[in-house]
Amino acid sequence: MAGFRVPRYAAMLVMAVFTLYFLTPLWWLFVASGKKDGQVTEGRALLPDNFALGDNLAGLFRYNDGVFLRWMLNSIAYTVGAAALGTLLAGMCGYALAKYVFRGRELIFNLVLGGVLVPATALALPLFLMFSQAELANTFWSVFLPSLVNPFGVYLGRIYAAASVPDELLEAARIDGSGEVRSFFTLAVRLMAPAFVTIFLFHFVAVWNNFMLPLIMLGNERLFPVTLGLYSWNSQVNQHPELRALVLVGAFVSIVPMVIAFLSLQRFWRSGLGAGSLK
């Protein structure tokens, strides 16, 4: 790759334009969350005006016995739990597919890859019917268990394990008397750490934004994740306009955990991608 150099300022300009493009809606949401009674068309659209974010936040957390806080905690439980366990499962699975030779390995891998192509939305209804048979519909598990599955993570895990965990190292560990499980947790996990962070982040975002599955599975408001909770408020704005302010400020609060996850994990992510490409 040589011959053509993009001037630095041009690259900066393009990035600045995109940054603005992606941040403007967020900024609008921030300003709108601060407006009194959800009067979004009142006053200036992109500059704080009659700023009442504090009142709105208080209203949000007070409404209906603080159900919003409950939704946030549910989302965190679904997301962090499923992302952590799901990442481990996907990583183990990818590692096994990369490092062990056994009959049907490619078949399994191809099946998992096929899973990447099936949209989660299409699976929600069959899952509901299955969970109903097991009398598990409308429980925490009905959202948590399906959220563990992450075929794309398996794919990433396999590619990364193949590239970053040398067979010689595993061989040496075996000779030193380490069992397979121990080798995985002490050796492979460290070498694959950047891949784990990547899988975790992807998984985190996917579960946090998951909407169809909880919509179909859950009837009990106390079990809702924040996406579904906000949606159900939003669906009633016509007849109960006072909910609009809550939807706006709630949407704003609901992206905070995701911003935190990204800011705190992106360091690992970037170094991880870099390490992968060097190999």
Partner 1 sequence: MRIRAGSVAVLLALSLGACSSDSPDSAPAAAASCAPASGPVTLTYTTWIPNIEKVVDVWNKANPDIQVKVQTGPNGNGGTYANFFNQLKAGNAPDLGHIEYDALPSFRVQDGLTDLGGCDIVTQSQSKFIDWTWNQVTFGEQGHVYGIPQDAGPMALFYRKDLFEKNNIPVPATWEEYAAAAEKVKAAGGYITNFSQSDINQFAGLVWQAGGHWFANDGSNWTVSMTDDASKKVAGYWQGLIDKKQVSSVPPWTPEWDNAYNSSSAWTWVSAVWGANSILAGAPKTSGKWAVAPMPQWTAGEKVAGNWGGSSTAVFKNSKHPYEAAKFALWLNTSTEALTLLNKEAQLYPATKEGASLPALKEGVPFYGNQPIYDVFAEASTQVKPDFTWGPTMTKTYADASDGFKKAVTGQGTLVQALEAAQTSTIATLKSQSIPVKE
Which residues lie near partner 1 (CB under 8 A)? Answer: 37, 39-42, 64, 121, 124-125, 128-129, 132-133, 135, 137-138, 209, 211-212, 215-216, 218-221, 224, 227-228, 230-232, 234-244, 251, 254-255
Question: What tokens appear for 72 in the block?
Answer: 């946030």
- Which C-beta is closer to partner 1: that of 258 or that of 265? 258
Task: Kindly state the tokens that stand for 85.
Answer: 């366990």
- Residue 133 or 277: the one with the smaller Cβ distance to partner 1 is 133
Min separation Cβ 5 and partner 1, Å? 38
For residue 158, give Cα distances in angstroms to 86, 147, 162: 15, 20, 6
Q: Which is nearer to partner 1, 239 or 277 (CB)?
A: 239
Shortest spacing between CB 96 and partner 1, in angstroms = 34
Place of tokens 């690259």: 11
Least separation, in Å, of the C-beta of 174 and partner 1? Answer: 48
Nearer to partner 1, 132 or 266 (CB): 132
Nearest approach, Cβ of residue 139 and partner 1 (Å): 11
Of 87 and 210, which CB lies nearer to partner 1 in the complex structure?
A: 210
In the complex, what is the shortest distance from the CB of residue 70 to partner 1, in angstroms, rounded to a whole number? 13
d(CA 29, CA 141): 33
What is the nearest approach in angstroms of partner 1 to the Cβ of residue 200?
Answer: 20
Q: How many residues are listed for the chain in this entry? A: 279
Cα separation, 89 vs 148, in Å, equals: 8
Q: Which is nearer to partner 1, 106 or 135 (CB)?
A: 135
CB of 138 to partner 1, least distance (A): 8
Taking the least distance from each CB to partner 1, the nearer of 138 and 178 is 138
